[in-house]
Amino acid sequence: MDMEKKLKEMSLVFKTLGHPVRLRIAAGLANNKCACVKEIWECLGMPQAIVSQHLKVMKQNGVLVARREGAKVCYSLRTDLITQMVKMLEINPHP
């Protein structure tokens, strides 16, 4: 993957995490590794519909991975992407 494409992907991830609710979701998943929709909205104390909208955006933008467990959908952070971003920032600290 060329540098320009990586930078665009990173920019989209940062933009996605720029919303306070999505950042809270990411922080919670970083601690728990994986959680189902119900666990996430109960933990946040927010309506399920709002949390589901944010989860959808995060999945579409490549921040989350969804896995179906029977009737439940569970989400986890794309740790490969986060690790790649951290490494890229360490390697390229200057513009």
Q: What is the CATH number of domain 3-91?
A: 1.10.10.10
Domain ranges within the chain, ordered by starting residue: 3-91
The closest alpha carbon to 29, from 71, 82, 70, 68, belongs to 82
Flag whether the pTM goes above 0.85: no
Among the listed residues 50, 53, 76, the one whose alpha carbon sits nearest the alpha carbon of residue 63: 76
Smallest Cα–Cα separation from 55: which of 33, 76, 31, 84?
Answer: 76
Cα Rg, the chain, nearest whole Å: 14
The reported pLDDT for the residue numbered 1 is 60
What is the Cα–Cα distance from 53 to 64, expressed in whole angstroms? 13
Write out the chain's pLDDT in tens, 95 residues: 677 888 888 889 889 999 999 999 999 998 888 899 999 999 999 999 999 999 999 999 999 999 999 999 999 999 887 777 777 777 665 55
